[in-house]
């Protein structure tokens, strides 16, 4: 039975595990048939779509109806992390059945360009924009979400998404920072942008991370598991995994479409 706002938590106590699914994890643009960033965090059938990047709406449409997504959470306004919000909202706005507006949580102003792709007003009924400022704590269905500004070219929010003691921390796109280590402290799963393998080139230094950076920060935060994502197209995933493992002794994997992981008590 789907979780619905307004119900008491006792109704959802049947399962405390949080499921994390990968739709795509290609960095910057879709490559080798893989979508860009797109993840689902789910508990008791309440599904939060994180970062609807290029290709994600098409993949989703083959898996669940658009109305099976209960909320959207966006790290930042680069289109490889949010462009497919537009078709997702179309699917809900233009469908025959009237549904509740989809809560879309994003940094203030970050979705302006994507929301302007269609004519003014066309998608208004389909969403309810819940703008936040980095640093705020927000509630998304059964999840408590801590947000934190992490270094990128434009404002980027990292998320620590928690429910009943389990947590997943997601960096969006971000250069290494003490803020991430603090946000990810003892998290069950750190999902970390790792655009590069060992070293970030000079022009991106401080704004993006390597798999090595991600491994080091997972160690510093004492995270349980590390999932590398947003690899630059063409990157060897095994090389990224090795680089992270050189810094982190916990479980390391590279995001690939269809992968699912669970956190929390069974």
Which residues of the shown chain bind a copy of itself in the complex (CB under 8 A)? Answer: 24, 26, 28-36, 54-55, 57-59, 61-63, 66, 78-80, 83-84, 86-88, 90-91, 94, 113-114, 116-118, 233
Least distance (Å) from a copy of itself to the CB of residue 10? 37
Nearer to a copy of itself, 2 or 65 (CB): 65
Residue 69 to residue 141: CA distance in whole angstroms? 11
Number of H helices, E strands in the chain: 7, 14
Least distance (Å) from a copy of itself to the CB of residue 4? 25
Upper half-sphere CA count for residue 243 (Cβ side, 13 Å)? 23
Nearer to a copy of itself, 7 or 256 (CB): 256
Nearer to a copy of itself, 32 or 178 (CB): 32
Least distance (Å) from a copy of itself to the CB of residue 219? 30
Give residue for tokens 């970050």.
110
Give residue for tokens 């946000």.
183
Nearer to a copy of itself, 151 or 264 (CB): 151
Least distance (Å) from a copy of itself to the CB of residue 78? 8
Residue 157 to residue 134: CA distance in whole angstroms? 6
Between β-strands 18-24 and 260-263, what pairing exists: parallel, antiparallel or unpaired?
A: antiparallel
Residue 112 to residue 114: CA distance in whole angstroms? 6
Least distance (Å) from a copy of itself to the CB of residue 58? 3
Nearer to a copy of itself, 86 or 209 (CB): 86
Query: What is the phi/psi pair of residue 22, to 5°?
Result: -100, 125
CB-based contact 64:39 (threshold 8 Å): no
Nearer to a copy of itself, 56 or 183 (CB): 56
Residue 54 to residue 194: CA distance in whole angstroms? 18
Least distance (Å) from a copy of itself to the CB of residue 194? 17
Residue 195 to residue 181: CA distance in whole angstroms? 18
């Amino acid at each position: 039975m789907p979780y619905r706002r307004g119900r008491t938590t006792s109704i959802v106590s049947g399962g405390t595990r949080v499921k994390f699914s990968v739709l795509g994890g290609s960095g910057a643009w879709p490559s080798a048939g893989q979508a860009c960033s797109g993840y689902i965090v789910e508990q008791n059938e309440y599904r939060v779509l994180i970062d609807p990047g290029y290709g994600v709406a098409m993949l989703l449409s083959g898996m669940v109806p658009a109305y099976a997504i209960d909320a959207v959470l966006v790290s930042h306004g680069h289109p490889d992390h949010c462009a497919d919000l537009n078709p997702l909202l179309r699917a809900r706005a233009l469908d025959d059945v009237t549904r509740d507006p989809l809560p879309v949580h994003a940094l203030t102003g970050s979705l302006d360009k994507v929301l302007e792709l269609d004519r003014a007003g066309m998608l208004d009924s389909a969403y309810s924009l819940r703008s936040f400022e980095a640093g705020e704590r927000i509630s998304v269905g059964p999840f408590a979400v801590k947000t934190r500004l992490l270094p990128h070219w434009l404002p980027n929010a990292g998320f620590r998404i928690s429910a009943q003691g389990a947590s997943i921390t997601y960096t969006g796109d971000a250069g290494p920072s003490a803020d991430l280590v603090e946000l990810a402290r003892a998290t069950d799963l750190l999902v970390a942008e790792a655009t590069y393998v060992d070293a970030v080139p000079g022009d991106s230094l401080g704004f993006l991370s390597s798999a090595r950076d991600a491994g080091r920060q997972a160690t510093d935060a004492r995270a349980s598991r590390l999932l590398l994502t947003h690899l630059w197209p063409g990157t060897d995933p095994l090389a990224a995994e090795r680089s992270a493992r050189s810094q982190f002794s916990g479980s390391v994997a590279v995001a690939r479409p269809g992968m699912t992981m669970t956190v929390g008590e069974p």
